[in-house]
Structure formats: C-alpha cells, structure tokens
Amino acid sequence: MTNRFLLLICIFITVPLISQAQKAKSIFNGKDLKGWHTDVPVMDKDPKLKTPFIIRNGLLVSLGTPGGHLISDAQYENFRFTFQYRFAGKPGNCGALVFVSTPRALYDMFPKSIEVQMMHENAGDFWCIQEDITTPDMEKRRGPKEKWGVNGDKLRRIPNLTDGTEKPLGQWNSMTIECVKNSIKVWINGVFVNYGYNATAQKGQIALQSEGSEVEFKKIEITPITQLTK
C-alpha cells in the first residue's frame, strides 16, 4: 500500500470529523443588544426609567438596578454557554439563567428557568425557578426533602461543590455552563463546581440578571454540543 493511498484514507476519515466540529459563536457584538431583549417589570409603569443593561467600552454591563433580565431572542438546546464577568464595584449578586421560558413566573420578576448563581462567594449554585433539577447528595446539599420546591419559600437553592474558585474583586472570572438534554454542568475559572440532571426542561432562552450589583460581561458565546464534558 503506497504512502499516497494511506494519506488519502486519512483525509477521507478525518475531514468529516473536522467538518462536524462545532465552533463557538459570539452572541454579544460589543456594540448593541442585537439578539437580546430586556424584561424590567418596573419599566412597565415608568418607561422613562433607564434600562439596567448598557454597553460601555465594548462590555455588556448589568447596572444592578432596576431589577430585571436580559433575555436572548433565540432558544437553545444542547449547548455550551461561556462568558467572562467581574463585579465593577462592590461584589454582590447576579445570575445566569438557562432553559428560560415563561417571563415573570416567580415573584412577578424571575422567568421560569434554572439559575446558575453568580453571587460573590456562591458562584455555581443552582436556583430552581419554577423548574427543578436533581443533583448527587441533594438532601445533604439542599436540605430536608419535604421542604424542596420551585417557588415561594421552598428550598430552591442547591449549593455548589467547591469554595474559593472565584478570583479577587476586579479580576475577570470565567463561567462555563453546559446543557445537554436535561443535564447541566458548571465550571468557574476552569474548576468543576456543579452538576445536575433530570431537569424539568431541556431547552429555552438564556438570560443574565440585573440583581443589585454592577457586573461587567465580555466574550459571551454559545457552542452547540452533543455531550457533556467529562
């Protein structure tokens, strides 16, 4: 068998694999909010209020007030959602939501979804917002089973698996959220911090919060995937 024939076989085998490789797609252009829309309840009554989501120096900024969400126009299923973020002032609260559907489904504010927490020193927690998810050791992490729930005063928080993964204030953190079917995995700065399965949803929009603290975002990307990273 000639070397040329072997080379042709290698090309025939590898090209389809390369062509099937999915590339990350930026979903924030650094100039405007094309591809996104805001849902800020208090602006219903006073449209003169300034939106809490702005563009500043090429960054997406959540000002923290008034409270609300920046929601993607598109829906996503089987994807990797990545972005970098930092608190621009005092560290506080924010979140990234996946499997977003019905707006204002909880407290007339939060859309039906699974939230991946970004609150300082709690990044990577799951919060169930009218959707639910299962995790290993859930009774130990979530609390008494009879108090679990997805609304009201039920136990909706499932803490992350690690501490100390966030960088000091002012430095950029990276968050990676993978969703395949009804399973979710989360990494903070490359460290695996949470995993859930049997979620009650498996597709939807994605969203970022305005929830009390100013947060800057960049490199917001989506990548189609077919399986979770092991």
- In angstroms, the Cα distances linking 120 to 70, 111, 167 are 20, 22, 10
CA 165 centroid distance within chain: 17
Residue 138 DSSP SS3: helix
Share above pLDDT 70 across residues of the chain, in percent, rounded to a whole number: 91
Tokens of 140: 């130990």
* Cross-strand pairs, 56: 59
Are 164 and 123 a contacting pair, CB within 8 Å? no
Q: What is the per-residue pLDDT across 159-210, written as a single tens digit (0 to 9) for each?
A: 999 989 999 999 999 999 999 999 999 999 999 999 999 999 999 999 999 9
Helices (H), ranges, 126-224: 138-142
Backbone dihedral angles phi then psi of residue 98, each to the nearest 5 degrees? -125, 165
User: What is the rounded CA–CA span in Å between residue 120 and residue 11?
Assistant: 49
Query: Each residue of 51-78: b (16+ CB within 10 Å) or e?
Result: ebbeeeeebbbbbbbebbbbbbeeebeb
Are 163 and 150 a contacting pair, CB within 8 Å? no
Long-range pairs for 43-46: beta carbons < 8 A, 24 or more residues apart: 43/68
- Three-state SS for 86-115 is EECCCCCCCEEEEEECCCCCECCCECCEEE
Q: What is the per-residue pLDDT across 8-52, written as a single tens digit (0 to 9) for each?
A: 333 333 333 323 357 999 999 999 999 999 999 999 999 889 999
Q: What is the pTM of this model?
A: 0.89
Domains of the chain: 25-224 (2.60.120.560)
Are 196 and 126 a contacting pair, CB within 8 Å? yes
Mean pLDDT across 88-114: 96
pLDDT at residue 89, rounded to an integer:
84
User: What is the rounded CA–CA span in Å between residue 122 and residue 125?
Assistant: 6
User: What is the rounded CA–CA span in Å between residue 45 and residue 139?
Assistant: 42
Q: What is the per-residue pLDDT across 135-160, written as a single tens digit (0 to 9) for each?
A: 999 999 999 999 999 999 999 999 99
